[in-house]
């Protein structure tokens, strides 16, 4: 995701710079390689924690008497700290959050009973990222004015070909 967002920000900044400063000539350099899709796919696939990690962490917290620290969760589950941290970060961003941290221990909240992953939201974000990835592929093979392509991609109502 970060790679696509970075590319999108670069394109937006390029267009803003050209328009804002009335630059007569600008060059955009896109470095791309055959590994781009694999890298982007990895970030798209790993943007959200797997449902199994969410279920496992909620289950072990439910089975604990006074909550668990991340190292304690690691001892109970076969998950690394990064996977646990990512899953907890995702859970704490939910509203209402099914987990909360009290001192050094993670505990369930009252929202846990009704908590469900918003799969429609996850799917929508994933689809958006895949569409952005396709847009980058289209940009790399576009046979006409790339400036007009970027303007259209950024919803400019009046994209104009640069004549090149």
Domains of the chain: 2-31+119-153 (no CATH), 51-114 (1.10.10.10)
pLDDT score of 32: 81
Token pair 């991609």 in the structure block, residue:
153
* pLDDT at 8 (0 to 100): 64
pLDDT in tens, the chain (164 residues): 455 566 666 666 666 655 555 666 767 777 788 888 899 999 999 999 999 999 999 999 999 999 999 999 999 999 999 999 999 999 999 999 999 999 999 999 999 888 989 999 999 999 999 998 999 889 888 898 888 888 888 888 888 887 76
CA distance 120 to 129: 14
DSSP designation for 9: H
Whole-prediction pTM: 0.70
The set of residues, in sequence order, having a beta carbon less than 8 Å from that of 83 and lying 6+ positions away, is 49, 53
Place of tokens 């990690």: 53
Residue-wise pLDDT for 70-97, tens only, equals: 999 999 999 999 999 999 999 999 999 9
Q: In this structure, how many other beta carbons lie within 10 angstroms of the beta carbon of residue 117?
A: 15
Torsions phi, psi for 101 (to 5 deg): -105, 125
């Amino acid at each position: 995701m970060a790679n696509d967002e970075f590319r999108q920000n670069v394109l937006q900044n390029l267009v803003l710079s050209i328009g804002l400063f009335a630059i007569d000539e600008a060059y955009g350099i896109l470095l791309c390689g055959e590994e781009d899709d694999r890298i982007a796919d990895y970030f798209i696939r790993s943007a959200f924690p797997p449902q199994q990690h969410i279920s496992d962490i909620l289950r072990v917290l439910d089975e604990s008497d006074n909550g668990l620290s991340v190292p304690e969760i690691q001892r109970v589950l076969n998950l690394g700290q990064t996977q646990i941290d990512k899953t907890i970060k995702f859970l704490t961003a939910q509203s209402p959050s099914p987990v909360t941290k009290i001192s050094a221990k993670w505990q369930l909240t009252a929202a846990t009973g009704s908590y469900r992953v918003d799969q429609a939201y996850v799917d929508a974000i994933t689809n958006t990222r895949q569409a952005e990835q396709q847009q980058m592929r289209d940009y790399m093979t576009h046979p006409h004015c790339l400036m007009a392509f970027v303007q259209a991609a950024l919803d400019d109502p009046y994209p104009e070909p640069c004549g090149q």
